[in-house]
Amino acid sequence: MSANADARARHWEKTRNLTILVLIVWFILSMLAPWFADSLNSMTFLGFPLGYYMCVQGSLIGFVALIWFQNWRQDGIDDEFGVADE
């Protein structure tokens, strides 16, 4: 395997692992938090039941943070392998 092909394979491996991580966090925020909302409601956050807060506000904040993290990390991966946009 040439050096260029090896670098592309490592770039794809890091990109794939980042995508898997982001999808796992997305699944937790979008599926598991609402699934366990009744259990989470035994705790409060800012005066609201935690399950309610996570379903209506917390998950949205989490999604925005997740998008920011993915873009920031992908830029780092692209810079590392010299394929970043100028």
| Segment 1-53, tens digit of pLDDT | 677 889 899 999 999 999 999 999 999 889 988 898 899 899 998 899 988 88
pLDDT at residue 1 in the model: 66
Question: Does the pLDDT value for residue 86 go beyond 80?
Answer: no
Q: What is the pLDDT of residues 50-80, one digit of tens each?
A: 888 888 888 899 999 999 999 999 999 999 9
Domain residue ranges in the chain = 3-80
Q: What is the DSSP string of 50-82?
A: HHHHIIIIIHHHHHHHHHHHHHHHHHHHHHHTT
Query: pTM of the prediction?
Result: 0.80
